[in-house]
Structure 1
Amino acid sequence: MEKKSLPLQVINYNAAGIDVGSRSHLVAVDQNKENVRSFGIYTKDHELLITHLQNHGITSVAMESTGSYWQTLFNALQKAGFIVLLVGGSQTKNVQGRKTDVIDCIWIQKLHSLGLLSGSFLLSDFLQELRTYYYHLQHIVEQIAKYTHKMQKALRLMNVRLDVAIRDITGKSGLAIIDAILSGNRDPHYLASLVDIRMKKSKQEIADSLKGWWRDELLFELSASLDFYRLYEKALQECDKIIEKALLKFAPVNTLLESDKEKPNRSKKKSSKNAPVFDVSSIAWQYFKTDLFAISGISYSTVLCLLTTMGDDIHKFQSAKSFASWLRLVPNNKISGGRIISSRTPSGKSYLASALRQAANSIGNQKDHELTPFFKRIAYKKGRITAITATARKLAVIIWNMLTKAEPYKKQQVKETNQKTKAAGLKQVERRIDALKLSQSELKTLFARASLLIN
């Protein structure tokens, strides 16, 4: 009896596949290797590629997201009227035979024509602009931290322990002392007199920390690092102004008039060293119509990251689970034979996921936060790192519900959930004690030990 083959049905008849590279792009319009063409990366080459696709009647194009090389070609194809599908490398890696660029683009064309590829999530144009500003802001903050550490190192190698005497060497007192050192003053008592009167440590202790061995090469490094620090501080202020201007430009017009009626009081959260200088809480209310700062642990930087890297596009996710999965905060469970053989969280860089992890870590350090019992329960079972990821996932779910439904933070509901979990744990303890069939004396001994541990 002959076996009948069941060929897959072609979904996209006028489909093409593009293998994106750093120096050239290979285009396949069918499954014939002879029809594969290579194009350059310049604008004129993009125009020739578009003409080539139009001559072959192509209406839909699938391309692999290789680094950042795909972005200019993707925009050019969209402007030309093509339906463009951006796919991750995980969907196209299982190519048959020896892997080459020609075979890759043919394989992408085949998968796309059969409808086996799903497009990546892409932000709207104005959010891509905001995200570019935010990424540049993060780069500036990283450079500020880098040169702050270099100044600390230069002082430490001269045994000038300003970082021990003063908590922040880039504060008002710290910078005044560094400027005096670079101007030639080496008297520790004079340097200590420059410290603000609110400093907790005594002037004598600060003066002791400022007595060291002065070396020309380290003083030069200190001076150069200070210049770079101030340069990036100025750039940070300029970037803050640009981001504020862009956020106000794209703010929803219909909520600007209503925001003053229901808008909560300005948040009294402490701002960090490099937090935005503008009113993030008011702008966030205009965009989201809910107060994200009601969640303890959510900082100005976290909300700014959410505004610039996600914004109103969060409504594109159908559920909170899909949003958390896109952030790579959900374990990628691999099940075979009814058993979970792997449950690792997918790797990948996401500024928003990192911001939520930082918020989760701060929640783990708080005693009275409503999510602290959940954090400690996971940390006890699987460790702190897993607890940070799990709490970040819970924050992502809470934020999705608040933004998509325009509802306030349900703090009481979280507390009630914790109480239910605690009650379930108590019932489990009772069942275990009943199963042991302990005597009255053994029960008294057990509860006496428990009371000693609590006290």
Structure 2
Amino acid sequence: MTRTKRSRKARDMAPIHPHAAAIDIGATMHMAAVPPDCDPEPVRSFGTVTGDLHRLADWFERCGVRTVAMESTSVYWVPMFEILEQHGFEVVLVNARDAKHVPGRKTDVSDGQWLRRLHEYGLLRGSFRPTGGIAALRAFLRHRERLLGYAAAHIQHVQKALTQMNLQLHHVVADVTGVTGMRIIQAIVAGERDPDVLAGSRDPRCRASEETIRAALVGNDREEHVFALAQSLELYDLYQDKVAACDTRIEAVLKRLRAVAAKPVGKLPPARHATKQPNAPAFDARVALHAILGVDLTQIHGLGPSLALKLVGECGTDLSAWPSAKHFTSWLCLAPSNKISGGKVLSSRTRRSGSRAAALLRLAATTVGRTETALGAFYRRLSARAGKAKAVTATARKIAVLFYNALRHGMDYVDPSAAYYAERYRNRVLTNLQRRAKSLGYVLQEAGAESVGVS
């Protein structure tokens, strides 16, 4: 019996995207690659100015390209991505981790060819990137975070100047950016030095007494320290104004999203917390999100209005890109990354990730661990058994699942309470113990019960 030998061409994989191209992104040069049968020179270099990017897109059109893959190199890919989308191409943004290990010597030319070949055979997964209003919302929210970081740095400069003047205000007032702290600092910058007058600016809600504040405001005035204090305060106020302007833009984007939202909006449930969070937006983010999503994300413990708004900015309002909550948590790198060989689990550690959404969920998990809720009880039980790091990751995954179900399926979260969780866990442990005892030929009895013998 003779075996028919298939040709090499028949053994090759069939291309998934026969009209695929790829671009190796750089700071001053882009290396673009098209299929070899489309052009005598299938790999070309282009500059990064806008005219060069349009010429690259025109070349793709002449070559019959329909889909383009590129790596997410810093922010250099953003102009190229947007221009290609304007020309009607399907653009796939891939993680450099998925396209590494170029065979042979590594050059810009071989990188572009290897990326194109991987994309041609469907071996690359596109990264999630929000579009439309969500992309604008995400950009404004990230810019707002940077502004708050700059403002926080100048508050540290304020505290340094106060320490050099031996004014211990930040040791007796919990927050120098609060009402009492800012009144006193502004009075010092204006030239007031009398401790009695400065302590008289104390807000009635301040926990420190007026006498304590007065004793902390007896310092050593020097011209250079007062000058540094004044400039740091001025820069802090400047960034606060910029944050307020950014809040106006964010509110406008949310109104546009509300205009195109198709989800029915019911009655907004009462807020779980009446106090306003530090650095919260100037508008009511909870009401704005409820009007867009139709659900109140803040009912999930750990998610305040500001954190929920950031999560929506990172993940969008439509989570259909992930077929299930398992896919969503895997994308966030909050699920175990199992490596199995020969039926043996070699590793199940979660992958490292720079995802902002995952960082927000970890922050929510840390917060919820201090609450008397079912999530808080889960965090504390796991923390005692496996350590805080694993407890944070596991709790963050649970919050991510609740977030996914709320946005994708409209689920309304109701906390079953910590006592319910503890009782459920106790029953599960008892069931396991009874099953193990039965397998060994014993019967478990409750302490104090009458003896019924041993089977």
Scaled by the length of structure 1, the TM-score of the pair is: 0.88
User: 3-state DSSP class of the match of 1:409?
Assistant: coil
CA distance in 2, matches of 1:275, 1:355: 15
Quick check: 1:271–1:300 contact (8 Å CA) kept in 2?
A: no
User: 3-state DSSP class of the match of 1:278?
Assistant: coil
Q: 268, 273, 280: which one pairs with 2:285?
A: 280
What code does the residue aligned with 2:52 have? D
CA deviations over 1:192-235 (Å, ceiling 9, x no partner): 12212333322222112112223333222211110011111111
User: 3-state DSSP class of the match of 1:85?
Assistant: strand
What RMSD, in angstroms, separates the aligned Cα atoms of the two structures? 2.9
Quick check: 1:267–1:281 contact (8 Å CA) kept in 2?
A: no
Of 234-243 and 309-318, the range deviating more from structure 2: 309-318
**Is 1:152 equivalent to 2:159 in the alignment?**
yes
Q: 170, 183, 192: which one pairs with 1:176?
A: 183
| Number of the residue aligned with 2:239 | 232
Which has more helix, going by share of residues? 1
User: 3-state DSSP class of the match of 1:312?
Assistant: coil
| Number of the residue aligned with 2:294 | 289
CA distance in 2, matches of 1:57, 1:187: 78
What code does the residue aligned with 2:373 have? H
User: 3-state DSSP class of the match of 2:45?
Assistant: strand
CA distance in 2, matches of 1:179, 1:263: 40
CA distance in 2, matches of 1:378, 1:285: 32
User: 3-state DSSP class of the match of 1:411?
Assistant: coil
Quick check: 2:373–2:415 contact (8 Å CA) kept in 1?
A: no
| Number of the residue aligned with 2:323 | 318
Of 161-170 and 330-339, the range deviating more from structure 2: 330-339
| Number of the residue aligned with 1:358 | 363
| Number of the residue aligned with 1:19 | 24
CA deviations over 1:165-202 (Å, ceiling 9, x no partner): 11111112111111222223222222212212333322
What code does the residue aligned with 1:172 have? V
CA distance in 2, matches of 1:154, 1:345: 44
CA distance in 2, matches of 1:21, 1:9: 31
CA distance in 2, matches of 1:92, 1:21: 16
What code does the residue aligned with 1:314 have? L
What code does the residue aligned with 1:391 have? T
**Is 1:406 equivalent to 2:410 in the alignment?**
yes
CA deviations over 1:122-150 (Å, ceiling 9, x no partner): 21222111111111111111122211122
CA distance in 1, matches of 2:133, 2:402: 25
Deviation at 1:397, TM superposition (A): 0.1
**Is 1:307 equivalent to 2:309 in the alignment?**
no
Quick check: 1:252–1:286 contact (8 Å CA) kept in 2?
A: no
User: 3-state DSSP class of the match of 1:135?
Assistant: helix
**Is 1:128 equivalent to 2:132 in the alignment?**
no
User: 3-state DSSP class of the match of 1:365?
Assistant: coil
| Number of the residue aligned with 1:245 | 252
Deviation at 1:424, TM superposition (A): 1.7
CA distance in 1, matches of 2:143, 2:132: 17
| Number of the residue aligned with 2:386 | 382
CA 1:285–1:13: 2 relative to 1, 3 Å: same
CA deviations over 1:329-357 (Å, ceiling 9, x no partner): 22322223333333332223333222222
**Is 1:339 equivalent to 2:341 in the alignment?**
no
| Number of the residue aligned with 2:195 | 188
User: 3-state DSSP class of the match of 1:322?
Assistant: helix
CA distance in 1, matches of 2:310, 2:419: 27
Q: How many residues align?
A: 439
CA distance in 2, matches of 1:79, 1:253: 22
**Is 1:395 equivalent to 2:399 in the alignment?**
yes
| Number of the residue aligned with 2:103 | 96
| Number of the residue aligned with 1:450 | none
**Is 1:54 equivalent to 2:58 in the alignment?**
no
| Number of the residue aligned with 1:449 | none
User: 3-state DSSP class of the match of 1:18?
Assistant: strand
Q: 190, 201, 209: which one pairs with 1:202?
A: 209
| Number of the residue aligned with 1:72 | 79
Quick check: 1:331–1:344 contact (8 Å CA) kept in 2?
A: yes
| Number of the residue aligned with 2:124 | 117
Q: 329, 336, 340: which one pairs with 2:334?
A: 329
Deviation at 1:436, TM superposition (A): 13
CA 1:341–1:160: 2 relative to 1, 3 Å: farther
Q: Aligned residues: percent identity?
A: 37
Gaps of 5+ in 1: 445-455
Q: 408, 428, 433: which one pairs with 1:424?
A: 428
Deviation at 1:324, TM superposition (A): 1.5
Deviation at 1:427, TM superposition (A): 4.1
Quick check: 2:169–2:216 contact (8 Å CA) kept in 1?
A: yes
Of 222-231 and 294-303, the range deviating more from structure 2: 294-303
| Number of the residue aligned with 1:453 | none
CA 1:432–1:184: 2 relative to 1, 3 Å: farther
Deviation at 1:379, TM superposition (A): 0.9
Of 132-141 and 202-211, the range deviating more from structure 2: 202-211
Of 245-254 and 141-150, the range deviating more from structure 2: 245-254
Quick check: 1:271–1:299 contact (8 Å CA) kept in 2?
A: no
Scaled by the length of structure 2, the TM-score of the pair is: 0.88
Of 391-400 and 63-72, the range deviating more from structure 2: 63-72
What code does the residue aligned with 1:222 have? L
What code does the residue aligned with 2:275 have? K
CA distance in 2, matches of 1:196, 1:262: 37
Deviation at 1:433, TM superposition (A): 8.8
CA distance in 1, matches of 2:313, 2:370: 27
| Number of the residue aligned with 1:143 | 150
CA deviations over 1:12-41 (Å, ceiling 9, x no partner): 222222111111111111359953110001
CA 1:28–1:200: 2 relative to 1, 3 Å: closer
Quick check: 1:240–1:278 contact (8 Å CA) kept in 2?
A: yes
CA distance in 1, matches of 2:15, 2:206: 74
Gaps of 5+ in 2: 449-455
Quick check: 2:67–2:91 contact (8 Å CA) kept in 1?
A: yes
| Number of the residue aligned with 1:448 | none
Deviation at 1:82, TM superposition (A): 2.0
